[in-house]
Structure 1
Amino acid sequence: MGLGADAAAGGVDVLIITALKEEYEAARAAGSAGYAGHPGVAAWEEHESESLLPFLVGTYVLADGRSMTVALARPTRMGATATAPVVSTLVERLRPRCLAMCGVCAGNPAHAALGDVVVAELAYAYDEGKRTEDGFEGDHRQIPAPEGWLRAAQDLGTSDLPSFGEASPHEARIWLMERLYAGEDPRRHPARSRFLSQASWTDQIQGLQADGLVARDGAALSLTDAGYALIEQLVYDDLDGPRELPFAVVVGPMASGNVVVKDGLTWSRLKQWGVRSVAGLEMESAVIAQVAHRLGLSDWVVAKGVMDHADPRKDDRYKQFAARSSAEVLFKLLGRRLASPQVVAESAALSRIRSVYVLGGVTGETTYPDYEQSQLAHVCEQLGQAVAKAGAELIVCSPFPDSADLHAVIGYVQSGAGRIVHLHSPRHPEVAERQTEMLAMLGSGHDTEIKNWYYPGPEDDDSREQAWLLCQIQAMEEADVVIAVGGRVSKTANTVLHLAEARRKPIVPFEFLGGASRRAYQRRDWTAVYPALEHRRLMDRDAVPDAMKIADQLVTARLRTPHNYRWPPRRVFISRARPDAAFAQALETYLSGAGITALVGEKELRPDRMVNPTIEDAVLSADLFVVLWSRSYALSRFCYDEIELALRRHAVGEIQLWIINLDGSDIVPPEARALPQALARTPHALVALVRELLEHAEPARTVPGGA
């Protein structure tokens, strides 16, 4: 089995759908060709060529060695009816991180030129509604594209793509004549600046006048009979359309309908029906958006090349170019979003942790006390970078320069991957002044959000330490993991670490600076509690960049604590919300392959029984209850009923319960908040976590009569 086959079995980064065979071939060729030094796909592997849903899988490689796995498929005919079942089936089967589509569309002549590529800002079916004797009343369900993809598309240049070419003076001349031939005003055309500069505009017109091809009457410019004859001949002889164009990416709404349009009237109708700035018109983008929304895919993108303007002049001359240019734009966009370090951080594929509390400071216990501050700053900046690149949020308390907190914030922000810093501090003028200075020092050229959480300030100088202790305790409570570097034993860090231990909070105590962190390290029987962890690395300052890998091991081990339940489990209940179906499907597939029966809500329903007792029987029959927590889960009454029943069984030792957080949202049921949880933002990460837990968890003792 090759690399592509492995990817198909375990999920892909992106599933690309095309509606037509020509679009499919253009996407396949664009993937193989790469661009601007990016190798692209070395070889496409065919899968299930004899089945009803064949598809290709390849690994798209970028110039710096990063890569993404790509699946490519198509229905047998265009349109929503043919596309929807293909997309739905393959998404559930291949479990892509992103659903994408490329191909051709009609472009609004007010916004897009022939050959431009429209990236959907939103997608909707424009012919949904009611037709009455007074006309059509639209009832549209618009689905917006993800914000990050829109920004990337707006910033995407095309000059390094194979289909891009600057217009020569001769090509600019023909372009100007063709606009007049089409009855368009070249001065107001969206592509005018790409073909004619201010300086060349006058030269071209004067040259065409001199050749007797155009006539000018004040502000009016028109073709002469000779000009008409020449441009008609050129258009007639241009069978295959352009090979290169100075095309651009246009980001705007995409409207889908069930008919091919060439009436020239639809653009004004779309405006009347509610979306004034529609840029593209085709038949399938709404399906892509709807399937992504229904199956809980956070990433989807549609890029389609403009082959005509949906008017009576509609022909296929630009079809080949539009299919090719849209595929090139799509692969470049996918490479930017799916293979970039920033997206790895956004997907949190490297970490199972939502938030990290960093605390510590100098200790005065080393043989170099005068240099401790310098070392603390260095290692804590490394620590902040590690937290950011793992996709976790950072929690700190002190904005003062002698703390571990400030330097962790600097590293977190300067990494370029930091998402949110939570700053827990008392209300006090001196603290506010330091916070203001810190924000000024960090500057505004970053995307990290700083959130302030304020607590009562000290009533006098003697109560300063108590005010800080309150902030630190609250920060510790909010974090999934505590990472400590140094910290004087006589200060609050020591108390906070004791409390974290009492709360069974995972702690990563780096020992090399001594202080409170060293005491926390020495109190733990690492070999007995975490036998798989190389705990002596916590004595090494060079291990700080790997702090999040160590933290992941501790978080996973909390879920893997010794237990008295049947082990290995024979029946696993997967509790999930409908939008998280892709996660549940991936987990169900893995469990079935491991010989474990997977029970999923509605699949257990029977026509002769009510819903609640059926679900209750399934939960009662399970050995393990896996909660796939998300915002959607928190909003579901049925999910809440399931977890309440499981929590009651867990409290009396009747069932093992794992909480796996899919999106980093807060746990709502009070009884569940204190239970261990781990983060898995992709189906791949979920399966890897459960596999690790099932393969390495060991029971504390055998249950009488159990397996």
Structure 2
Amino acid sequence: MAVDVGVDAVDALIITALKEEYEAARSAGLAGYAGHPGVATWEEREPDSLTPFLVGTYVLADGSRMTLALARPTRMGATATAPVVSTLVERLRPRCLAMCGVCAGNPADAALGDVVVAELAYAYDEGKRTQDGFEGDHRQIPAPDGWVRVAQDMETTDLPSFGEASSYEARIWLMERLYAGEDPRRHPARTRFLSQASWTEQIQSLQAEGLVIREGAALSLTTAGSAYIEQLVYDDLDGPRELPFAVIVGPMASGNVVVKDGLTWDRLKRWGVRSVAGLEMESAVIAQVAHRLGLSDWVVAKGVMDHADPRKDDRYKEFAARSSAEVLFKLLSKRLASPHRPGQTGATSRIRSVYVVGGVTGETTYPDFEKSQLAHICEQLGRAVAESGAELVVCSPFPDSADLHTVIGYVQSGVGRIVHLHSPRHPEVAEKQAKMLEMLGTGHNTEIRNWYYPGPEDEDSKAQAWLLCQIQALEEADAVIAIGGRVSKTASTVLHLAEARRKPIVPFAFLGGASRRAYQRRDWARLYPALDHRRLMDRDAVPHAMEIADHLVTARLRAPHSYRWPPRRVFISRARPDAQFAQALEAYLSSAGITAVFGERELRPDRMVNPTIEDAVLSADLFVVLWSRSYALSRFCYDEIELALRRHDVGELQLWIINLDGSDIVPPGARSLPQALARTPQALVALVRELLEHTEPAPTVPGRE
């Protein structure tokens, strides 16, 4: 059965330059590898447009998956490729821009059939040609470190095109190297075909058959040997099906002409890049488009079909196209695939967790139907929270609460992640919880986490026990959504506490009660002029509750007028594993005329580390923390954020905390500060763009909101 894939955004856009490369990538996607199913069906999209493409969901053995688009221009080369790539990147907003296909490989490093993954890419023919020769003026773009590292560590033995060399294949390989005038002892693939023992055996066998002759250290084909290999190559119409091929990571040079002179490798050395591993026509375009359009991830993998010398032919072209596609899909799966649960949508919210509070009010026009109305609305709310990717925080398992029905909607959505249930220890509560869990069943993927607190000592202290649970739940949540709730109960107190602690609150007012009072207390037009707050009076707005919550959370981060605005220098504090996020943010800031500052770039050999970084923080107008689990483990990141917190505490520095993976904020001084979630580099750039371009001020004095 085909998987329905939307095209609002994809994980990777894969470009090929030739139709043969396109078909190889399409087939490799369908074939999968090593038990990974791959793409069930490629779906054709926009076939009548100038840039048609295929879309498919690539599935791995553990259920993880990634959404891929595949496209090609009608001609090879940079001129034909650039407009197709630029158009589709704008259209599909991929996390990663990728390319596979064929290239010429440097004979010093890569064997025929090997796959070259670009460590950097550049156009080698950019420069000036004078009477004295060519003067290069190259713009080299390095590939992201994370992709390079995965490529360097990649094994090919589990890919369909890999095959160990048989004794016969090793024999033919040795004879082909001699026929090409190469020294097989120094060939980059020698160990894949011949061990020390088999090397001696093969030579002795070929000598005995009169196919090679050995004169001291020289080994060459006899006339019979040359005739034998010429006939074999002539009859080999389709090229190899399997090879012991390897992944070679190195610079990739692009040019506007097809090369077969055998001289270009030496010229590339003289023109500035000594270790070029691959030569083709389009990789520089991929790197340049990714760089200019703010994509932090790009990768090029191309199979070696020749060595750009006079012996150039197409015998290895089909294999090279296929093996490069297999390597690319494996690279993408290691870097982009994410766990999947049936019906799961993307985690798009800027909020990690939402506390839902409320219940019946006794203030509606038809009080007999209020429970049913509450149940229906809160189930919608639960689905909305789940589909946004946020975790749900609740307290009460009782049917007259908003909590229970929100949990039902959250679980029944099929995409709910975690429900945090804060409750007092009491037999009646335990019974209701048990019935709730029984009703929810076990066929869902939502994790229910119980948080228990001291129970009431008597009937008169029940309200206090519940209030303790609600206060703790409030502490654990990033935002509050309120629906109804009796004014005489604890919901009213909880909402007052949330206001005092500057928690973003989405108070739906249509049921009345504590939620309506919270709505009426706030000067919405002044605090959030871009928000149509009248929607909070409309029950039809409940499915959009998380959009409203995101708006409020983002507003908390916006710069108060007391700071220099817009900022001119932004210090980006990040852990090394999160470099792709920082690179995307730096590219955007640069395009906006803002200087990005990184601590390690400010280091000098004649200064100590701490004062150098402190000076860099002092020079910044804005400090952006890219928080993650990796950040929490870095001592250097801690030093940076501590410096920033000191300046922030005395009103000298605007500080934003942007959470990349939903992990808990550790430094005590930072826990009470606003934070927003951005799970991808694209989401990070979108958030920062909105914060910088929007003039709406953040509320600063809780008592005056």
| Range of TM-score over shorter length | 0.5 to 0.7
Question: TM-score scaled by structure 2?
Answer: 0.62
Of residues 630, 634, 637, the one that matches 1:636 is 634
CA distance in 2, matches of 1:603, 1:357: 41
Instruction: State the Cα distance separating 1:22 from its structure 2 match.
Output: 7.4
Find the counterpart in structure 1 of residue 466 from structure 2: 468
2:78 alignment partner AA: S
SS in 2 for 1:622: coil
Find the counterpart in structure 2 of residue 532 from structure 1: 530
Instruction: State the Cα distance separating 1:300 from its structure 2 match.
Output: 12
Find the counterpart in structure 1 of residue 582 from structure 2: 584
Find the counterpart in structure 2 of residue 406 from structure 1: 404
Find the counterpart in structure 2 of residue 194 from structure 1: none
Of residues 334, 353, 356, the one that matches 1:355 is 353
Find the counterpart in structure 2 of residue 71 from structure 1: 98
CA distance in 2, matches of 1:298, 1:388: 28
Q: How does 1:179-218 map to 2 (within 5 A)?
A: none
Instruction: State the Cα distance separating 1:608 from its structure 2 match.
Output: 2.3
Deviation string, structure 1 residues 394-444 (Cα, Å, up to 9, x no partner): 001111222111111111111111111101011112212221211121112
Q: How does 1:372-387 map to 2 (within 5 A)?
A: 372-387=370-385
Find the counterpart in structure 1 of residue 183 from structure 2: none
Find the counterpart in structure 2 of residue 607 from structure 1: 605
Instruction: State the Cα distance separating 1:355 from its structure 2 match.
Output: 0.4
SS in 2 for 1:83: strand
Find the counterpart in structure 2 of residue 453 from structure 1: 451
1:412 alignment partner AA: Y
Q: How does 1:294-333 map to 2 (within 5 A)?
A: 319=319, 323=323, 326=326
CA distance in 2, matches of 1:93, 1:104: 20
Of residues 96, 117, 122, the one that matches 1:83 is 117
Q: How does 1:269-280 map to 2 (within 5 A)?
A: none
Instruction: State the Cα distance separating 1:93 from its structure 2 match.
Output: 6.8
Find the counterpart in structure 2 of residue 210 from structure 1: none
Deviation string, structure 1 residues 85-106 (Cα, Å, up to 9, x no partner): 149987857999x9999x9955
Correspondence 1:504 to 2:502 = yes
Q: How does 1:511-590 map to 2 (within 5 A)?
A: 511-590=509-588
Instruction: State the Cα distance separating 1:13 from its structure 2 match.
Output: 3.0
Instruction: State the Cα distance separating 1:658 from its structure 2 match.
Output: 0.8
Would the aligned equivalents of 1:12 and 1:71 in 2 still touch at CA under 8 Å?
no
CA distance in 1, matches of 2:501, 2:607: 43
Would the aligned equivalents of 1:55 and 1:72 in 2 still touch at CA under 8 Å?
no
Instruction: State the Cα distance separating 1:561 from its structure 2 match.
Output: 4.9
Check 1:416–1:548 CA distance in 2 against 1; reply closer, same or farther (3 A cut). Answer: same
CA distance in 2, matches of 1:428, 1:300: 55
CA distance in 2, matches of 1:660, 1:384: 25
Find the counterpart in structure 2 of residue 481 from structure 1: 479
Find the counterpart in structure 2 of residue 437 from structure 1: 435
Check 1:61–1:81 CA distance in 2 against 1; reply closer, same or farther (3 A cut). Answer: closer
Would the aligned equivalents of 2:17 and 2:72 in 1 still touch at CA under 8 Å?
no
1:689 alignment partner AA: L
1:610 alignment partner AA: M
CA distance in 2, matches of 1:576, 1:21: 42
Of residues 78, 85, 93, the one that matches 1:49 is 78
CA distance in 1, matches of 2:454, 2:296: 39
Would the aligned equivalents of 2:559 and 2:565 in 1 still touch at CA under 8 Å?
no
CA distance in 1, matches of 2:339, 2:90: 9
- 5+ residue gaps in structure 1? 1-6, 115-126, 128-134, 136-235, 244-253, 259-282, 285-296, 306-314, 702-707
CA RMSD of aligned residues (A): 5.3
CA distance in 1, matches of 2:463, 2:401: 14
Deviation string, structure 1 residues 331-387 (Cα, Å, up to 9, x no partner): 9989x96898979745x2x21100000011111100110111111111111111111
CA distance in 1, matches of 2:594, 2:447: 43
Q: How does 1:645-684 map to 2 (within 5 A)?
A: 645-684=643-682
CA distance in 1, matches of 2:551, 2:76: 36
CA distance in 2, matches of 1:642, 1:331: 33
Deviation string, structure 1 residues 430-483 (Cα, Å, up to 9, x no partner): 212221211121112121111111100111111111111100110011100000
CA distance in 2, matches of 1:331, 1:28: 16
Check 1:34–1:477 CA distance in 2 against 1; reply closer, same or farther (3 A cut). Answer: closer
1:488 alignment partner AA: R
Instruction: State the Cα distance separating 1:107 from its structure 2 match.
Output: 5.1
Find the counterpart in structure 1 of residue 192 from structure 2: none
Would the aligned equivalents of 1:537 and 1:543 in 2 still touch at CA under 8 Å?
yes
